[in-house]
Structure 1
Amino acid sequence: MSMHLRPAAADLENPLYYLKNMETVVSWVANHHADLLLEPERARLRDFFELPRPSRALLTRMVMRSGDLFRADKLNYPELGSPEADALNELIADNWLDAAPLLTLDELFRLFTLAELRPAFAPVLAQAGHAKNLPKARMLEVLRDTFVDARTLTDWFDQEVASVVRVKQMTLFDRIRLMFFGNLRQSWSDFVLVELGHHRYEPVEFKPEVRAFSQRSDVDTYLAMHHCREWLDAGVLAAEVWAEVPHPSDNPWLTSRRDRLLLELGRQAERQGERELALQALAASGHREARLKQLRLLERMKRFEEAWAIAAHWQNHELSDAESQGLARILKRLAVKVGQPAPPAPRAPEIHEFILTLPQTGGSVEAVVRDHLSTPEAPVFYVENTLINSLFGLLCWHTIFKAIPGAFFHPFHTGPADLVREDFVSRRQAAFNLCFAALHDGRYRQQILDTYEAKQGITNPFVIWPALNKELLTLALDCIPSGDLRILFERLLLNIREHRSGFPDLVRFYPENADNKPRYEMIEVKGPGDRLQDHQIRWLHFFARQGIAASVCYLRWQDSGVTA
């Protein structure tokens, strides 16, 4: 496959569609990351394509499943077009499978049924004074001390049983999966077993200099961090995992992964009573959640002066609303402990509210209020989080899909992989500045409309195509001042994960209003018994501080006796 050829996903009508998708993945990695593979690994990938098709398909099926051990009698794939046994023999002959793997007792019990295991272990159980009809879990428990070494199948069983094989190249396929997806969270089924054709993807130029993994050691570092996270999830002591955490990297993308690992390690260490280790891990993590956790832990350890110094310094940084709120609460408590004046709490602006009492029609509360308020002169649209996000996505389209290291790994991305990382904006700051310059000089309107026409239907993490139409887009550009768009977009970028939700449900436009009067307003709708959520309140406070018209409509149903 050429480096410049754009791969396509297989059609699900093809019974071997999963094989075609696997071949796409392997070809992509072999072409784009050949220098990160050792020569024996590259040779194995060449061997993969030289296997007969049924053998390639069977190997793909095995790689996709969990674990690396398989019973031959459980491999049933009629779409291969030839007997599974023939494909197995080919894979064994070509050294893809181990036909006589060493099996631990736990592995044996996972592979075989109770009825198959009882005859093999009945004499041992009887000799130890146990009943021969023990349940499977109990039998495994009592046999563990006796059988500590791994054995071949013929050593475990006297009678003939189904053969077992082990995939020998699973670590290579894991390395391929990592280099293709950019993570090990996604399984093969996220690509190999899905129909990607119903999506349209923005083309991204894949040059060597924009790869997240620039050298093989980057892949090794990621794999080491992945194993650390697996150990934490398995309950291994945080102190033991800490010793295995890779050293800091000069690769920003790997640094963000390490920050996340240290955040989790700090949490685990605190749960395990290792408070000093928890502090060390949290202090070393650059993850934004680690800051508040570090301060709260210092507070619980009564190290108030230390916590106060960190909190007072952090207060001068640019923070999201949730961080500001959490920090303000900590500073207020710490001030009492260190004898300092508490920082003045910011005064929350008033949220405008009104009540509507309407007949119950069976529609959603948002639709009922929209239909009641909308007039030809002042149309109302149900947009929730879609409108502002989509306007941002259309204006900044090329910046969002800018090819930089760690942003894109393959041609099937719906958006950049670093979208919610803390350095998402800083790594693209110059490009975002150009986008915002268009808001200042008026070019933004045509840019948004042109992008809307040119990119129709292409996936974008901010643009929600089904919610957009030309009427809504035109009214929004007519009625929302560019200055308002700028401050809304700036807040969105301050914390994308947190701020791209919580927008009010409705927007009402006043296209006939003079320029010196508001030409739009946002309305959050709450039905009977519903309350504002924290992220909605923060947006409403932001609107109030910025002078953007916004309100909350509490809907009551006529004759229901239920009020908001």
Structure 2
Amino acid sequence: MAIELEPEYYLDNFRQLTDFVTVRYSDLLDLDEARFLSDFAVLSRDAQKLYVRMLTRKGDVFRRSKLQYAEITDIDEAARELARMDFIDTNPSLSLDTILKLFSKPEITAAVGDESLNRLRRDELEQSLLADATRIPELIACVASLDELFLLCRAQVFDTLKLLFFGNLRQDMTEFVLKDLGLYTFAEYSLDDESRFFHHRDQVNAHLHYYGVLDQFTDDDLQDASRLTELIAQLPVAPQEDRVLRRRVERVKLKFARQLERLGDLDLALAWYRECQTPPSRERQSRILIQQSEIEAGLALCETILETPRNEEELVFAQSFGARTARKHKHPWRKIKAYKPPEYSLVLPNQGQRVEMAVQNYFNESVATDSAGDNTCYYVENTLINSVFGLSIWEMMFASVPGAFFNPFQIMPSDFYERDFVECRKPLYEQWQTRVSSSDELSRCVLQNYERYYGQLNPLVFWGNIEPELLKTACHLIPITDWQHLFQRIFTDIKHNRSGLPDLILFHPDGLNPEFDSPLVTDRSYQLVEVKGPGDKLQKNQLRWMTYFAEHDIPHSVLNVTWDESP
């Protein structure tokens, strides 16, 4: 059944935000922000509703006739109250350009008394009226007289409030609505004073300054190297302890440096890349150095990446690009033999199923011998291993760590995909290692967390694809050493290594059907099987996983399916 929001849901949500900021960050508010909160608190409920309605709409100038809200008893009285308290200006001095955007073309032409203007396109109409500077005051008066105009005031304070609540200016009040509608159930985590992110006003100002620089950016700037350089130079210098701002600033620097590279300003792009630690900074440096014929330096950087990769993509780049470059320029390079996983072929009747489902049915009917007659093959792809991992690290993921959680609407900590995620939770990581030290411990932890947190958002847990019986079977039939290897690889680069896992898992604790002839490993209790239909090939991330499987004796294979089209 659809959930209906209360008529005043938006005001309740806004007050939840302001209450949160007041309790958590009152010591960091400047005089204007503190006065905004105190003034807003004494407004009548109608005035509060009208202000929040305007505040959360696009733009800052509104026509009175367009403000129609059934839940506000007297909009005109609410507007007068807002004007008295300096929340809106009911007699604003506005440019003609701003006013014109508020009215339709027929309204404008009727106001100025020139029906011939109707023949013009909208942009031509505005250009025509703006062209005669001597008539602009008269035109402003004519068009503005069509409706009462309200200019929203003190709206800049909202940016600070949103920053303090969300930790960014990307999220907005729709987060509340999604939760109110029951679309999202967020995990529970502490938002106590010890774990708050902002600690001093300079830090708040630095983040506001960062977003202010982004607001200046336009698509036209992408073609102007000097403008990009100017914007980069305006970015705040992030202190070492503010890991969030450092990541944000680096992402912008990397984006702009990449554009400088495209524009041909390689030296400047290289200089900006060298100021960044985040991938792909070293990859881009290496590419530029090779392009500038600095072969030794470019290959040396690839070697450094191979020794200390910062994520999976960077490692793959260094392996492939380094090898190609060394071969082209006749430089020595380490040889890495490509792994070829065990493969076999299968012909199945084409019954209109997805190929993975057809193979799953085939395995359940033909391959494994299960005395209970239960399914022994499951289509899991990236869902099972990630879900077991995500359930096992739940307490570590949602632990109270400074700067990890800003507000109640996060599906993961802010540093979840960062290299120092584990380092910042070392005691918790050591406790987690104890939890996964045996199959019984892992099973107990995973099943308890499944029941305790069912339905709560976690980027690794796929509630719709897992059930307790499958989790229990997987925890007991996959040896704990295999689980530990799987977990460790995901930990090295959670963002990239959570994908590329095989399609199917086949359990066969009682052995395989002896009539089944394939390269499946017969002395193990399970198999991971990647299914490929006609014309399909292994992706690079899938092959990397299988290479890792081979290194750690994790049973796996590739099954190539062709369809039997005979009648």
Normalised to the residue count of structure 1, the TM-score between the two structures is 0.88
Q: Which moved more, 1:480-489 or 1:297-306?
A: 297-306
The residue correspondences of 1:71-470 to structure 2 (distance < 5 A) are 71-80=63-72, 82-118=73-109, 133-141=119-127, 155-157=140-142, 160-192=145-177, 195=180, 197=182, 199-236=184-221, 237-250=227-240, 251-335=242-326, 340-344=331-335, 346-374=336-364, 375=368, 377=370, 379-440=376-437, 443-470=441-468
SS of match in other structure, 1:243: helix
Does structure 1 conserve the Cα–Cα contact (< 8 Å) formed by 2:279 and 2:310? no
SS of match in other structure, 1:70: strand
Distance in 1 between the 2:508 and 2:479 partners?
12
Does structure 1 conserve the Cα–Cα contact (< 8 Å) formed by 2:501 and 2:542? yes
Which residue of 2 is the match for residue 499 of structure 1? 497
SS of match in other structure, 2:217: helix
Could you say if the C-alpha distance between residues 546 and 233 of structure 1 is closer, same or farther in structure 2, counting changes exceeding 3 Å?
A: farther
Amino acid at match of 2:470: L
Amino acid at match of 2:60: D
Distance in 1 between the 2:400 and 2:133 partners?
54
Cα displacement (A) at 1:373: 0.4
Cα displacement (A) at 1:537: 2.4
Could you say if the C-alpha distance between residues 478 and 193 of structure 1 is closer, same or farther in structure 2, counting changes exceeding 3 Å?
A: closer
Cα displacement (A) at 1:226: 1.8
Does structure 2 conserve the Cα–Cα contact (< 8 Å) formed by 1:510 and 1:520? yes
Does structure 2 conserve the Cα–Cα contact (< 8 Å) formed by 1:96 and 1:167? yes
Amino acid at match of 2:387: S
Q: Which moved more, 1:331-340 or 1:248-257?
A: 331-340
SS of match in other structure, 2:523: coil
Does structure 2 conserve the Cα–Cα contact (< 8 Å) formed by 1:320 and 1:495? yes
Matched, 1:45 2:37: yes
Cα displacement (A) at 1:320: 3.7
Does structure 1 conserve the Cα–Cα contact (< 8 Å) formed by 2:282 and 2:301? no
Could you say if the C-alpha distance between residues 504 and 339 of structure 1 is closer, same or farther in structure 2, counting changes exceeding 3 Å?
A: closer
- Structure 2 residue aligned with 1:25, among 17, 20, 23? 17
Distance in 1 between the 2:239 and 2:262 partners?
28
Which residue of 1 is the match for residue 515 of structure 2? none
Superimposed CA distance per residue, residues 1-22 of structure 1 (whole angstroms, 9 cap, x where no aligned partner)? xxxxxxxxxx744122222122
Amino acid at match of 1:369: V
Superimposed CA distance per residue, residues 436-488 of structure 1 (whole angstroms, 9 cap, x where no aligned partner)? 23333563332223323333333322222222222111111111111111111
Does structure 2 conserve the Cα–Cα contact (< 8 Å) formed by 1:331 and 1:343? no
Q: Which moved more, 1:364-373 or 1:272-281?
A: 272-281
Cα displacement (A) at 1:328: 2.1
Could you say if the C-alpha distance between residues 35 and 351 of structure 1 is closer, same or farther in structure 2, counting changes exceeding 3 Å?
A: same
Amino acid at match of 1:210: S
Does structure 2 conserve the Cα–Cα contact (< 8 Å) formed by 1:225 and 1:245? yes
SS of match in other structure, 1:49: helix
Matched, 1:36 2:28: yes
Does structure 1 conserve the Cα–Cα contact (< 8 Å) formed by 2:273 and 2:285? yes
Distance in 2 between the 1:298 and 1:42 partners?
52
Distance in 1 between the 2:41 and 2:343 partners?
66
Could you say if the C-alpha distance between residues 376 and 543 of structure 1 is closer, same or farther in structure 2, counting changes exceeding 3 Å?
A: same
Does structure 2 conserve the Cα–Cα contact (< 8 Å) formed by 1:181 and 1:410? yes
Distance in 1 between the 2:96 and 2:294 partners?
49
Matched, 1:556 2:541: no
Distance in 2 between the 1:174 and 1:385 partners?
38
Superimposed CA distance per residue, residues 31-51 of structure 1 (whole angstroms, 9 cap, x where no aligned partner)? 111112123312311322322
Superimposed CA distance per residue, residues 348-387 of structure 1 (whole angstroms, 9 cap, x where no aligned partner)? 2112222332233343322221111015527011111111
Cα displacement (A) at 1:339: 5.8
Distance in 2 between the 1:559 and 1:334 partners?
46
Amino acid at match of 1:240: E
Distance in 2 between the 1:232 and 1:517 partners?
61
Could you say if the C-alpha distance between residues 513 and 373 of structure 1 is closer, same or farther in structure 2, counting changes exceeding 3 Å?
A: closer
Does structure 1 conserve the Cα–Cα contact (< 8 Å) formed by 2:112 and 2:143? no
Distance in 1 between the 2:144 and 2:244 partners?
53
Distance in 1 between the 2:461 and 2:297 partners?
44
Could you say if the C-alpha distance between residues 480 and 98 of structure 1 is closer, same or farther in structure 2, counting changes exceeding 3 Å?
A: same
Normalised to the residue count of structure 2, the TM-score between the two structures is 0.87
Superimposed CA distance per residue, residues 263-302 of structure 1 (whole angstroms, 9 cap, x where no aligned partner)? 1121232234433222222111221122212222233333
Structure 1 segments unaligned to the other structure (5+ residues): 1-10
SS of match in other structure, 2:529: strand
Cα displacement (A) at 1:525: 2.1
SS of match in other structure, 2:307: coil
Aligned-pair Cα RMSD in Å: 3.0
Which residue of 1 is the match for residue 537 of structure 2? 531
Superimposed CA distance per residue, residues 83-130 of structure 1 (whole angstroms, 9 cap, x where no aligned partner)? 43332222222211122334344423322222333467789x99xxxx
Could you say if the C-alpha distance between residues 335 and 389 of structure 1 is closer, same or farther in structure 2, counting changes exceeding 3 Å?
A: same
Distance in 2 between the 1:153 and 1:143 partners?
11
